[in-house]
Amino acid sequence: MPHPAGRCLLQSLKSSETRFVKKGSDLLLDVDTIQKGFVFTWKCNSDVVVIFPGGSEPSVKGKYQGRASFFKQNYSLVIRNMQHEDSGNYIATATGFKERIVADYRVTVQDPVSPVNLTINSFDAQYCNFTATCKVVDSEVSGNYRCYNQTCHPLTKPDLKDSLMTVYVQEGSVVCNHSNYVSWTNDTQPFVSLCKNKPVLNAGTIARISVAASVTAGLLFFGLFKCWKRKRRANTVNEVPEFDRAATSPSSRHGNIPRQKEQSSPPIATEAAMG
């Protein structure tokens, strides 16, 4: 029969959780409350961060001394001034009859993203179409985008590994947003000025366009009808009527009248015969 403490410990197990932390900030890791009397340990990969034997004081180990704080009340851990080398798999274990994992975090330390500069390269003020370039400050990384009305698509994607760059139109401005899991920054340019010369179609203009389209369609139909009529007339002249073909055919000339037997020509008299 399982030990009652073992049943309590199993109920506190948690699935793995992903955490992203900004470089230089603090990391807080916590666990569900477990029964006292177990040896409790926080590890990062294979390195022990803190060990807390039941009934004694916790002990912070190695490179984490002076940076890590363990709280006996809830077994949580705080690591200050996180650096890239602090990324890894943080696991909390409680050991009684056997070792049990009671918390599991996969931690990644990221730099804050760099600021960006947005430039409008060219545009069609009539239809609000334009191209834009968003460049990461102090870097050669940039992306080119084409925007039609208020939808933007990348022409060349920026070479970014741990961040994302997007360009979009929002509330009268063009926005370039640069972000990752821990930070974001953006640059904006006014969008209203790009569309200030966009023509406005009033009711009179729409009516004139409709009339012009109707007239054009009518002229096109009339021209096609005339061409069809001329072609039909030419075909009618060149056709031979059925009754004419019947009258001019050999069978119609002779009909069913029997042909007369042809008579041979009389012999031609020669001088010998006449003599």
List, for residues 178-192, the tens digit of each pLDDT value.
999 999 999 999 876
pLDDT higher than threshold 90 for residue 142: yes
Return the top range by mean pLDDT from 155-159, 194-198, 240-244, 261-265: 155-159
Closest CA to 136 of 111, 157, 113: 113
Distance in angstroms (rounded) separating the CA atoms of residues 91 and 103: 6
Look at residue 249 and tell me whether its pLDDT is greater than 50. no
Q: Tell me 161's DSSP state.
A: S
What is the pLDDT at residue 154? 93
Q: Are 93 and 162 in contact, with CB atoms under 8 Å apart?
A: no
pLDDT reported for residue 171 = 81
Q: What is 4-110's CATH superfamily? A: Immunoglobulins (2.60.40.10)
Question: Could you tell me the two tokens for 113?
Answer: 């993203």
Most confident region among 42-46, 211-215, 236-240 by mean pLDDT: 42-46
pLDDT value at position 229?
A: 74
In the numeric block, the tokens 């309590």 are attached to 8
Higher-pLDDT residue of 203 and 13 is: 203
d(Cα 90, Cα 79) in Å, to the nearest integer?
11
Q: DSSP letter at 7?
A: H
- Token digits for 15? 């699935």
SS3 251: helix
Q: How sure is the predictor about 170, in pLDDT bands with cuts at 50, 70 and 90?
A: confident
Angle at 51 between CA 48 and CA 55, to 5 degrees: 170
Domain residue extents for the chain: 4-110, 116-195
Q: Looking at residue 17, what DSSP letter applies?
A: E
* Angstrom distance (rounded) from CA 93 to CA 48: 11
Average pLDDT, stretch 14-35? 88
Q: What is the per-residue pLDDT for 204?
A: 63
Does residue 86 sit in helix, strand or coil?
helix
Do 51 and 41 form a contact (C-beta atoms < 8 A)? Answer: yes
Polymer length in residues for the chain: 275
Mean pLDDT of 132-138: 93
Q: For the whole prediction, is pTM greater than 0.85?
A: no
3-state SS assignment for residue 170: strand
Pair of tokens at residue 148: 């039609």
Between the alpha carbon of residue 37 and those of residues 70, 71, 85, the distances in Å are: 17, 15, 33
**Across residues 77-101, what is the average pLDDT?**
93
Residue type, 44: C
Q: Under 8 Å CB-to-CB from 51, ≥6 apart: which residues? A: 39, 40, 41, 42, 58, 59, 61
Mean pLDDT of the chain: 77
Pair of tokens at residue 54: 């039941």
CA distances from 162 to 83, 178, 219 (A): 16, 11, 62
Average pLDDT over residues 6-13: 41
Q: Is the pLDDT of residue 122 over 90?
A: no
Which of 55, 44, 54 is CA-nearest to residue 77? Answer: 44
Residue 13: band (very low, low, confident or very high) from pLDDT cuts 50, 70, 90: low
pLDDT at residue number 15: 73
The predicted structure's pLDDT at residue 269: 44
Task: Give 194-232 as a DSSP string.
Answer: GGTT-----HHHHHHHHHHHHHHHHHHHHHHHHHHHHHH
Of residues 274 and 72, more confidence is placed in 72
